[in-house]
A and B are shown apart, each in its own frame.
Chain A
């Protein structure tokens, strides 16, 4: 089991979600986040006062998948979330030791 955390541009979310569903990924958790990497923020001016906004809004997708699905999911995200500009985000992969379904206490990949 691997966990995929993908931080993406909010504008790409619908395409990514639809493409993931097409390859059979049923569940994910989405969070609205703010952050920055190499992408610079922008300035806003209110009555002559300038504010630099350097934390930009992004979406974080989290999903835990059985190993065979991971590569396809990563490829799908790469393909659909990419605009080619700085600020497209990142994907992090990590190994997950256990998963438990709260309703019936199923464990492991059955719980996914």
Chain B
């Protein structure tokens, strides 16, 4: 959507210019022919030719725009599927491997549940709250029950694909965002409480934030003229800061897991986590490159930036670990990769490969430091480091986007206007800060209130006995591994 405006303009103006040019050709050629012989025959023939030409042109124009639309639609449908792949199995495996054996199914079930629950809520009101209407903070009920969401594009967001494609693509973001929070509540939150809290969280925290940053009229929207245009290509604020900060609040509200930090709680299967992280890396191409909302060069640019940032972050985390512990671990490398993916998310469609390497490298180091040092200093039990990786990685990425964004990659503020700090537009850093602080504030307050409400209705934490026995058996009545059977 950010990129489409000028592309359409270019296309339309090319067509507009070419029609008069071609139309002029016949009178021009008739003027050069000897006037005596031609004067009787050419005048009636000229309008016929130009009519045929213009009909042909109109046909061609229609075919060209259909072809563009089909190409964009193909990529966006694939991207939507890729983003769903990030939640299940990607995140489910990544988190599933990091918990202890007795809680494996419980955490996977939470991701899967969200795939179903948020989808239904999205069809009823979610999409409309995020992308209907044009309020500064939240959308309206214009598209409730998906009214008017069909084959016709919504030119405010994506002018070349059916709105239904845009809708289903955005749904996948709404699914993974609350799923990220379950990394902080892992191994001790009730299933009933998780369902209620995350459903409320989607309505009260995610939907407004998505509207503010991406929705028409949203006050942080950069491409549709928001008051504080925050650059967030694929969800650094909306997805990662919101979920990461909420995760921290959840970890503090729930308290530590029984036995933490004295009792060892090593990941039960890093093999699962490893597969999950690799699926996240692949799925993230849909997340970031798909956010171009078209299949053009901007999608390529975002794809390239995503890949390089991820690689750099995997290396910087591993190097930090190698220096500190004398060994580079598999868990460290995959955690670094995820940190890089998070940090490049807001920047993906605004930066070239070199800034992407820098963003990834910085994010890997900062997140490593958060997860290994800061967490133990403060002593909160963010079980799977949802805050350390997503909250901090998202914040680092959002701020660095303000530094590195280039008009060369994406002239989001109009042709010739600088975008980020290094472009000469340092005040963008201020806009990014407004976006970051809004997301932090919204997530903090919203999560505290919703946890209180959930606590009153279903309760949030399982009993100590249930926690020790494990959530798989006590919450779901089954076990992940029945090795004797």
Seen from chain A, the residues whose Cβ lies within 8 Å of a Cβ on chain B are: 44-49, 51
Name the prevailing secondary structure of the A interface residues. Answer: strand
Q: Are B332 and A47 within 8 A (Cβ)?
A: yes
Nearest chain B residue, comparing its CB with the CB of A43: B325
A-B contact pairs, 10 of them (CB 8 A): A45-B321, A45-B329, A47-B335, A47-B371, A47-B385, A48-B371, A48-B372, A48-B373, A48-B375, A51-B264
What are the residues of chain B within 8 A of A48 when measuring CB–CB? 371-373, 375-376
Q: Is B20 an interface residue (CB 8 A)?
A: no
Seen from chain B, the residues whose Cβ lies within 8 Å of a Cβ on chain A are: 261, 264, 266-267, 321, 325, 327, 329, 331-332, 335, 371-373, 375-376, 385
In the assembled complex, the CB of A31 is this many whole angstroms from the nearest CB of chain B, namely: 16
| C-alpha gap A11/B332 in the complex (Å) | 29
In the assembled complex, the CB of A20 is this many whole angstroms from the nearest CB of chain B, namely: 29
Report if A51-B335 is in contact (Cβ < 8 Å); known contacts: A45-B325, A45-B329: no
In the assembled complex, the CB of A55 is this many whole angstroms from the nearest CB of chain B, namely: 11
What are the residues of chain A within 8 A of B329 when measuring CB–CB? 45-46
Q: Which 8 A-B residue pairings sit nearest by Cβ, starting from the closest?
A: A48-B372, A51-B264, A47-B371, A45-B325, A46-B266, A51-B266, A46-B331, A46-B267
Nearest chain B residue, comparing its CB with the CB of A45: B325
Counting chain B CB atoms within 10 Å of each CB, the highest count among A45, A47, A49 belongs to A47
What are the residues of chain A within 8 A of B264 when measuring CB–CB? 51
In the assembled complex, the CB of B453 is this many whole angstroms from the nearest CB of chain A, namely: 32
In the assembled complex, the CB of B182 is this many whole angstroms from the nearest CB of chain A, namely: 17
What are the residues of chain A within 8 A of B372 when measuring CB–CB? 47-48
In the assembled complex, the CB of A110 is this many whole angstroms from the nearest CB of chain B, namely: 34
In the assembled complex, the CB of A50 is this many whole angstroms from the nearest CB of chain B, namely: 9
In the assembled complex, the CB of A81 is this many whole angstroms from the nearest CB of chain B, namely: 29
What are the residues of chain A within 8 A of B335 when measuring CB–CB? 47
| C-alpha gap A44/B266 in the complex (Å) | 9
12 extra A-B contacts, CB within 8 A, seeds A46-B331, A51-B264, A51-B266: A45-B321, A45-B325, A45-B327, A45-B329, A46-B267, A47-B331, A47-B332, A47-B335, A47-B372, A47-B385, A48-B371, A48-B373
| C-alpha gap A44/B264 in the complex (Å) | 10
Nearest chain B residue, comparing its CB with the CB of A48: B372
What are the residues of chain A within 8 A of B385 when measuring CB–CB? 47
| C-alpha gap A46/B334 in the complex (Å) | 12
| C-alpha gap A63/B331 in the complex (Å) | 42
Counting chain B CB atoms within 10 Å of each CB, the highest count among A48, A49, A51 belongs to A48
In the assembled complex, the CB of A46 is this many whole angstroms from the nearest CB of chain B, namely: 5
Q: Are A49 and B332 within 8 A (Cβ)?
A: no
What are the residues of chain A within 8 A of B327 when measuring CB–CB? 45
Nearest chain A residue, comparing its CB with the CB of B384: A47
| C-alpha gap A62/B367 in the complex (Å) | 50
| C-alpha gap A109/B477 in the complex (Å) | 49
| C-alpha gap A51/B260 in the complex (Å) | 12
What are the residues of chain A within 8 A of B376 when measuring CB–CB? 48-49
What are the residues of chain A within 8 A of B371 when measuring CB–CB? 47-48
Q: Are B331 and A49 within 8 A (Cβ)?
A: no
| C-alpha gap A20/B335 in the complex (Å) | 47
What are the residues of chain B within 8 A of A44 when measuring CB–CB? 266
| C-alpha gap A112/B326 in the complex (Å) | 52
